[in-house]
Amino acid sequence: MESSLYLLAFSSAFQGTTEEAIRNNHRELFKALDDAFQVHIVPEEHFADLHLQPTDLALVFIASGGTEGMFVKHYAALPRPLTLLTDGKANSLAASLEISCWVQQQHDECQILHDEPEQVVEAIQELKLRNLMQGQRIGIMGTPSDWLVSSNVDYQTAARRWGVQFINIPLSRVEACFNEETADAAETEATQFISAANGMVEPDKAEVLKAVRLYHAIKRVALEEHLDAVTVRCFDLIPTCHTTGCLALSLLNDEGIVAGCEGDIPAIFTMLLAKRLTGQDTFMANPARIREKEVLFAHCTIGLKQTRQYIIRSHFESGTGVAIQGLMREHRPVTVVKIGGKDLNRIAFAPAILTENQNDPKKCRTQILLRTRGTDLSNYLLSRSIGNHHVILEGNHSALFAKLCRAMGLHNEVTSPAQ
């Protein structure tokens, strides 16, 4: 989770306003900060030039006393939520307390971050996690599929908790874009997809061309709406577009637009959060068989970059369109995770080992068998599962998700047997 830490610095003329003076006056604090983050000190005259990326965190650094009036002058332009960082030197804590009281009188929120340097670093890391989804845009193309009865989300509550935006998009808009796409425009991607495959079973090239046209249509809407992620009520596209969304979602994930199936909002939120937290692409799937220490997950789409090879298949449930039988890398650690609940306030995660790919003709095309590692993942799924779909990503990221839980006040619903 690479990002920068920007400190909007307020310092009096008596203490010095240059970066060198500020660093010299607060050496212990900056030693700890520089070891943990890429730190940028922004002086007062450059506040207006600051353009933050979604992964960046900006704090207000009160470097000395006598800065209260300067803060009030720039108050409206400061990044929200307001967090004041102070190490107490040069009357900076006193100034921070006065500023905080004034901010509250404006009916605004303000937190003071003041502790030993090591504890300050930990607190900032938690702040970064809490801001992880700030400003992210998730598009819901069509409503959640009818069978996802536990997967509705209260947009406003979830937005307050995570800072994410949900954008409803009529499926008819995707269909209109699909009808404007031509087979000729899909030729290059279709040929590349077929030539890189390890085989093609049910579909022919004409089917692949239709699937690529749908990819172009969904991508066009996603770009027009500036979406970071999209979930599609894909089954409803089969009778209107006469193809499936499996290939479209696969290619979008490969390009960095996180994409999921069936209009499942908690699942696409989990996929996007996991990608931002770890940098890893994710595989959305449903449990197809559960044993005490093994779980088989399956679905009909997966990003091609997550596979060591793939076979072009038809969509399992409908027997139409184009799906992907992806073979993932075996004997690798993975993490299973799901965030859900109406307010997106429940989380479950567990490490596992991907032991083998399977090929059961009566299940969705991509099938991976996971062996659990010291957790009650199987019991969780059967007794208190957060919905159907779960998200799998390469690597054991349990420690990162545990930090996220601490930052967000959540509790992992998958426990170890000892617990």
Q: What is the 3-state secondary structure (H, E, C) of the chain?
A: CCCEEEEEEECCCCCCCCHHHHHHHCHHHHHHHHHHCEEEEECHHHHHHCCCCCCCEEEEEECCCCCHHHHHHHHHHCCCCEEEECCCHHHHHHHHHHHHHHHHHCCCCEEEECCCHHHHHHHHHHHHHHCCCCCCEEEEECCCCCCCCCCCCCHHHHHHHHCCEEEEECHHHHHHHHHHCCHHHHHHHHHHHHHHCCCECCCCHHHHHHHHHHHHHHHHHHHHCCCCEEEECHHHHHHHHCCCCHHHHHHHHHHCCEEEECCCHHHHHHHHHHHHHHCCCCEEEEEEEECCCEEEEEECCCCHHHCCEEEEECCCCCCCCCEEEEECCCCEEEEEEEEECCCCCEEEEEEEEEEEECCCCCCCCEEEEEEECCCCHHHHHHHHCCCCCEEEEECCCHHHHHHHHHHHCCCECCCCCCC
Residue 99 covered by a domain? yes
Residues 378, 287 within the same domain: yes
Give me the domain span that covers residue 338.
137-408
Contacts of 285 (CB under 8 A, 6+ apart): 297, 298, 299, 364, 366, 368, 389, 390, 391, 392
Query: End of a domain among 75, 110, 130?
Result: 130
Residues 146, 124 within the same domain: no
Output the domain CATH number for residue 52: 3.40.50.10940
Q: Report the candidate in 310, 249, 233 with the shortest Cα–Cα distance to residue 282.
A: 249
Q: Is 207 exposed, middle or buried (0-12, 13-18, 19+ CB in 10 A)?
A: buried
Residue 273 covered by a domain? yes
Residue 82 covered by a domain? yes
Q: Do 143 and 231 meet the contact criterion of CB atoms below 8 Å apart?
A: no
Sheet architecture: strand order including 258-261: 165-169, 137-141, 229-232, 258-261
Q: Do 400 and 335 meet the contact criterion of CB atoms below 8 Å apart?
A: no
Q: Each residue of 271-323: pLDDT tens digit? A: 999 999 999 999 999 999 999 899 999 999 999 999 999 999 999 999 999 99
Q: What is the pTM of this model?
A: 0.87
The amino acid at 124: I
Q: Do 1 and 53 meet the contact criterion of CB atoms below 8 Å apart?
A: no
Please report the sign of the dihedral spanned by the C-alpha atoms of residue 415, residue 416, residue 417, residue 419: negative
102, 106, 158, 165, 194 from 134: Cα distances, Å: 26, 23, 11, 8, 38
Query: End of a domain among 101, 130, 159?
Result: 130
Residues 94, 143 within the same domain: no
The Cα–Cα gap between 350 and 416 comes to: 9
Residues 194, 117 within the same domain: no
Residues 164, 308 within the same domain: yes
Question: What total of structural domains would you count in the chain?
Answer: 2
Residues 342, 238 within the same domain: yes
Residue where the block lists tokens 């696409």? 268
Q: What is the mean pLDDT of the chain?
A: 94
**Residue-wise pLDDT tens for the chain (419 aa)?**
456 899 999 999 999 999 999 999 999 999 999 999 999 999 888 888 888 776 678 999 999 999 999 999 999 989 888 999 999 999 999 999 999 999 999 999 999 999 999 999 999 999 989 889 988 999 999 977 777 766 789 999 999 899 999 999 999 999 999 999 999 999 999 999 999 999 999 999 999 999 999 999 999 999 999 999 999 999 999 999 999 999 999 999 999 999 999 999 999 999 999 999 999 999 999 999 999 899 999 999 999 999 999 999 999 999 999 999 999 999 999 999 999 999 999 999 999 999 999 999 999 999 999 999 878 999 999 999 999 999 999 999 999 999 999 999 999 999 865 44
Q: Each residue of 216-262: pLDDT tens digit? A: 999 999 999 999 999 999 999 999 999 999 999 999 999 999 999 99
The Cα–Cα gap between 300 and 304 comes to: 12
Please report the sign of the dihedral spanned by the C-alpha atoms of residue 234, residue 235, residue 239, residue 242: positive
Output the domain CATH number for residue 259: 3.20.14
The Cα–Cα gap between 272 and 228 comes to: 8
Q: Which two tokens stand for residue 400?
A: 């990162």
Residue where the block lists tokens 């998200």? 391
Residue 417 covered by a domain? no
The amino acid at 64: S
Q: Report the candidate in 329, 349, 330, 328 with the shortest Cα–Cα distance to residue 338.
A: 349
Residues 119, 141 within the same domain: no
Residue 301 covered by a domain? yes
Residues 256, 374 within the same domain: yes
Residues 160, 245 within the same domain: yes
The Cα–Cα gap between 418 and 209 comes to: 53
Residue 416 covered by a domain? no
> What phi and psi, each to the nearest 5 degrees, are found at residue 398?
-60, -40
Residue 245 covered by a domain? yes
Residues 345, 221 within the same domain: yes
Residues 100, 178 within the same domain: no
Residue 418 covered by a domain? no
Residues 86, 173 within the same domain: no
Query: End of a domain among 82, 97, 130?
Result: 130
